[in-house]
């Protein structure tokens, strides 16, 4: 029995089913599992840290964006969504609608200015021709203050043609550009004396051949001295018909042609006077009195000027050379005419 016991090997003393080789393998496997768990734990920890950093970065970015947006909003005007929605653009006006509106405005201006007339003082066609030439780049009031002495000195074309240039220049100096105007007056007077027997011609074709006389001056003379209808496109007329959207042309001859197609020929002369009257008294260049305009409801440019009625009334200029707000009185040549109801129409 002792021999048998003594003959047992170390392998016989090991637990059943486990040999030393298996123990080593088991330890290695356990070590691998432990290492794998540690690796997984590290990865999980890294992911958590990355996730936390991402969340922090997003929060920081969002906070910065919010601050930037608030600063921008404080510096910039309200966004379109916060402002009143703009009005949709008006439908393009047809040619027929424009013509009807233009003629309606002309009828209303005829009621407002029943005595519209050229505001230059004259007694005959020669005086009107001279006064119109002098009116360039100055006011009718200044011309009317100048012409009495001028016509007293040179009442006829023959007299003016023989005038000394220096004396003529001195008489018309207040109207400005007196040297150029004196040259024109001497030239047209000489032409009237030599080519038209001292008479002002009654045809456009003849008038425009005179020195210093263009279509505007010719139409003034024809319409007011000869009764020949004509459209006078001066500064006021051109400005208003463009503001009224009757034409978009800038060249005076093109403006004249387009306006002539809108109105009957019989209206041309008086239409010119009415529009000029309105431009001088109400529809001023820089600040029109929209709140006191009698044709505001038909004007597509309504709103460009003062809209408050009381403030607009103070902008009105009635009497030629008068003060703003002064009531319009008919000229002495038109007694009994009522003052036009400019306000409250």
One digit per residue, the tens of pLDDT, for the chain of length 345 reads: 444 444 444 444 444 444 566 666 666 676 667 766 666 666 666 666 566 666 566 666 666 666 555 555 444 444 344 444 444 556 789 999 999 999 999 999 999 999 899 999 999 999 999 999 999 999 999 999 999 999 999 999 999 999 999 999 999 999 999 999 999 999 999 999 999 999 999 999 999 999 999 999 999 999 999 999 999 999 999 999 999 999 999 999 999 999 999 999 999 999 999 999 999 999 999 999 999 999 999 999 999 999 999 999 999 986 444 343 333 444 444 333 333 333 332
Enter the DSSP assignment of 90.
P
Phi and psi dihedrals of 83, rounded to 5? -90, 160
The predicted pLDDT at position 8 comes to: 46
What is d(CA 228, CA 266) in angstroms, rounded to the nearest whole number? 9
* Pair 313, 287: CB distance under 8 Å: no
Structural tokens at position 254: 């093109």
The predicted pLDDT at position 329 comes to: 41
DSSP assignment string, 10-66: HHHHSPTT--HHHHHHHHHHHHHHHHHHHHHHHHHHHHHHHHHHHHHHHHHHHHHHH
Question: Residue 109: how many CB atoms within 10 A of its CB?
Answer: 21
pTM: 0.67
What is d(CA 164, CA 189) in angstroms, rounded to the nearest whole number? 13
Of 12, 28, 121, 234, which is the active-site residue? 234
- Per the annotation, the verdict on 234 as an active-site residue is yes
For domain 123-228, give the fold.
Endonuclease III; domain 1 (1.10.340)
Of 181, 216, 251, 254, which is the active-site residue? 216
The predicted pLDDT at position 319 comes to: 47
* Pair 185, 130: CB distance under 8 Å: yes
The predicted pLDDT at position 68 comes to: 57
Phi and psi dihedrals of 112, rounded to 5? -75, -40
- Per the annotation, the verdict on 3 as an active-site residue is no
The predicted pLDDT at position 216 comes to: 94
Domain extent listing, the chain: 123-228
């Amino acid at each position: 029995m002792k021999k048998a016991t003594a003959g047992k090997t170390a392998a016989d003393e090991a637990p059943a089913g486990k040999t030393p080789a298996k123990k080593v393998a088991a330890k290695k496997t356990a070590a691998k599992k432990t290492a794998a768990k540690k690796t997984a734990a590290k990865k999980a920890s890294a992911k958590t840290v990355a996730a936390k950093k991402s969340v922090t970065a997003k929060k920081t970015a969002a906070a910065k964006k919010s601050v930037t947006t608030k600063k921008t909003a404080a510096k910039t005007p309200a966004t379109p969504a916060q402002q009143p929605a703009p009005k949709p653009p008006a439908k393009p006006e047809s040619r027929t609608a424009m013509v009807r509106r233009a003629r309606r405005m002309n009828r209303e201006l005829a009621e407002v200015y029943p005595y519209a007339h050229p505001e230059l003082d004259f007694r005959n066609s020669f005086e009107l021709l001279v006064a119109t030439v002098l009116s360039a780049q100055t006011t009718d009031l200044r011309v009317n203050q100048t012409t009495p002495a001028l016509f007293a000195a040179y009442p006829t074309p023959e007299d003016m043609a023989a005038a000394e240039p220096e004396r003529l220049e001195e008489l018309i100096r207040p109207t400005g550009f007196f040297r150029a105007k004196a040259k024109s007056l001497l030239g047209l007077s000489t032409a009237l004396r030599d080519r038209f027997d001292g008479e002002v011609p009654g045809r456009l074709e003849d008038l425009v051949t005179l020195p210093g006389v263009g279509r505007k001056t010719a139409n003034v003379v024809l319409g007011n001295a000869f009764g020949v209808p004509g459209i006078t496109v001066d500064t006021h007329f051109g400005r208003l018909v463009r503001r009224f959207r009757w034409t978009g042309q800038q060249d005076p001859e093109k403006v004249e042609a387009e306006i002539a197609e809108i109105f009957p020929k019989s209206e041309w002369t008086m239409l010119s006077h009415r529009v000029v009257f309105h431009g001088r008294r109400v529809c001023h260049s820089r600040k029109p009195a929209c709140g006191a305009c009698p044709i505001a409801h038909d004007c597509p440019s309504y709103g460009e000027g003062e809209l408050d009625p009381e403030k607009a009334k103070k902008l009105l200029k009635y009497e030629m050379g008068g003060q703003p707000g002064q009531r319009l009185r008919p000229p002495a040549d038109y007694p009994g005419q009522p003052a036009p109801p400019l306000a409250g129409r």
